[in-house]
Structure 1
Amino acid sequence: MTTRVTLIAPATTPSLRRARFDDGDSLDGAGAAEAGAAAEHVPAAGQVLTSPSTRCRETASALGLDAIQAAELAGLDVGRWRGRMLADVGGAEPAALARWLADPDAVPHGGASVRDLCERVGRWLERCGRTGGRTVAVVEPEVVRAVVVHVLDVPLAAFWRLDVPPLTATEVTGRSGRWNLRLGHPLGTASGR
């Protein structure tokens, strides 16, 4: 039984444009418009999910999806860094930020580690692989990274080396234990079908 999982990164927000850790802000006007324009290019699915964040829920809505929030698809909890500018954290806590970016087990912010996120998302993907069918999920970029790390079975150090642009789709197909990966194509392009 083949499973198809299409992961869609959320549209832009003011936090994303300012390199600020997500603080629950809404999509900006351009992001909402781009998501609305891409709605016709989202594949039909038996299961439609979203990360619980505001930007993922609003992106799903703008795409015309009636998505169910899935706690296991929540983004990376950055603890006390939430809402702070990346540059400010780097200036105030350069060693802590460097450790966090280099060590997948580090949690200097008091949130969750990259390893914890990757393991949680990997377990979710393997459950999907046992059920078959198509799932579409609007998820945080770090969830897409975790899926790629899991599918390719690469070291966790690769996590921060993966860029996930807004409103791109990444697809994995196969079944639990054996996945194929199609990397982030923009929604609304001929190659995105």
Structure 2
Amino acid sequence: MTTRVMLVSPAAGEAQRAVRFDDDGPLSEAGLRRVRSAAGELPAAGRAFASPSVRCRRTAEELGLSALPMEELAGGAMGDWRGRTLDEIAGAEPAAVSAWLADPDFAGHGGESLRQLCDRIADWLARTATEAGRVLAVVEPDVVRAAAVCALRVPLDAFWRLDVPPLTVTELSGRGGRWNLGLGRELGRR
């Protein structure tokens, strides 16, 4: 029994443009134009989900997916850092930013650690793999990175070495607890 999971990163929002930890803001106008040009590019799927963020739900909607919002697929909770820029936090809390990047158990921002995020996504992948068929999920880039790290069973620090551009598809196919990974097919660039 083979399960195919297609993880679609959402179109860009204003927070990404400002290099700000997501504040659940809307898609940018450029992001909206790009996702609309990608509508119809994805294959049909038996199950479709979306991270609960505005930009993931809106991206799924614009792609023509009837995606069920799933809290379990939310991006990593950033606690007190939510809505702030990385430069702002690095200026005010440089030791905390260093710890966040070096320690997968760091949750000093009052949110979720990298390990907690990866464990949550690994649990979702394990449950998803119990049913054959194709699954589409529009998820935050950190969820895509967590899924890749979990699927390949690589050390958690590999998370920081994976770039996930807007509107790209990462494909996982697997059976028996083993996954193959296809990276970065771009949507909306016809």
- Which category of TM-score, normalised to the shorter sequence, fits these structures? over 0.9
Distance 1:176 1:66 in 2: 28
Are positions 1:17 and 2:17 aligned together?
A: yes
Show CA shifts across 1:93-145 (max 9, x none).
00001100111100110000000000010010011111111000000001000
Which residue in the other structure is 2:54 paired with? 54
Kindly indicate whether the alpha-carbon contact (under 8 Å) linking 2:60 and 2:138 is maintained by their aligned counterparts in 1. Answer: yes
Kindly indicate whether the alpha-carbon contact (under 8 Å) linking 1:125 and 1:176 is maintained by their aligned counterparts in 2. Answer: no
Kindly indicate whether the alpha-carbon contact (under 8 Å) linking 2:34 and 2:188 is maintained by their aligned counterparts in 1. Answer: no
Describe the SS at the equivalent of 1:41: coil
Kindly indicate whether the alpha-carbon contact (under 8 Å) linking 2:15 and 2:25 is maintained by their aligned counterparts in 1. Answer: yes
Give 5+ residue unaligned stretches, structure 2.
Answer: none
The TM-score with structure 1 as length reference comes to: 0.96
Q: CA RMSD in A?
A: 1.1
Amino acid at match of 2:187: L
Which residue in the other structure is 1:2 paired with? 2
Give 5+ residue unaligned stretches, structure 1.
Answer: none
Are positions 1:138 and 2:151 aligned together?
A: no
Show CA shifts across 1:30-87 (max 9, x none).
1011111101111110000000011101111111111101111011000010000110
Distance 1:94 1:176 in 2: 43
Amino acid at match of 1:175: R
Of Structure 1 and Structure 2, the greater helix share is in 1
What is the identity percentage for the equivalent residue pairs of Structure 1 and Structure 2?
Answer: 56
Kindly indicate whether the alpha-carbon contact (under 8 Å) linking 1:4 and 1:172 is maintained by their aligned counterparts in 2. Answer: yes
Measured after TM superposition, the shift of residue 179 of structure 1 is 0.7
Distance 2:154 2:39 in 1: 32
Show CA shifts across 1:138-158 (max 9, x none).
000010001100111000011
Which residue in the other structure is 1:94 paired with? 94
